[in-house]
Each structure stands twice: as structure tokens, then as C-alpha cells.
Amino acid sequence: MPRDLPPLGSTVWVVGDGYIPPGGSGADPALHSHESICMLNAGDVDAVVEISVYYTDQEPAGPYTLAIPARRAHHQQINALRDPEPIQPGRDYCLVIRSSSPIVVQHTRLDSRQSELALMSTIAYPAA
């Protein structure tokens, strides 16, 4: 068990390259094209996370709200967000992720539009 730590991370994070590839190959759902924000709440307090989605040609959408319990990982597929509205594949966007307590965010895309998958990942930008 880890020793006590101060909360790790930042309360505001930005993802620049949001894009859910339209479609994907293969029968395994785990290999369908998707995009995820992988978050850690290493602190001892539950975190409330609000995600705003910025587009090229309209006002931002959201917030999409979720909770991450203390000492838990939460890997959120962007295409699984539903409330207030689904995020359409094939459309450019950026994300601002704000949390009530410090978290860490990594952004990953799996693209299987062609028969073999491609991956990309980066720690998101900590803005506060």
C-alpha cells in the first residue's frame, strides 16, 4: 500500500488533438477506433471532473461531469460520453478538463480505420 502522499497533479488540463476516427476494423470491440483520457486521482478525496469540449465552428459543449473516487484510476473513452450530448466521430475538437482536486491526465488515441491499429499518447497539458 502506498504511503500518504499530497494530492498529485493539476486541477486544469488541456488536450489539443481531439478526434474520434470514424469507423474501424476488426471484430474485437477493444480494437475499434477510440480516444481516451486516462486520469489518476491519487489523493484521499473524491474528485469531481468537468470536461468541456471546444469545436472549430460552434460554442463549447458541456460540461460532461464524472466522479473519480480517492485513490482510483479512471480511463474515460470520449466516445462513451453521452450527457449532455454524444461527441461525433470525424470532427476536430479540444478538451479542457477541470477537477475539484488535483489529478493527472494522459491522452491516448487508438486508430483502426485501416486493417492494423495505430496508437498515439501524450501527457496532457497541465494548465493550473
Measured from the CB of residue 4, what is the shortest distance to a second copy in angstroms? Answer: 12
Residues that bind a second copy (CB under 8 A): 1-2, 5, 8-9, 12, 14-19, 26, 28, 30-31, 36, 38-40, 42, 50, 52, 54-57, 59-60, 62-63, 71-75, 90, 92-94, 96, 98, 104-128
Min dist. Cβ of residue 81 to a second copy (A): 15
Q: How far is CA 51 from the centre of its chain?
A: 8
Q: How far is the CB of 87 from a second copy (least distance, A)?
A: 12
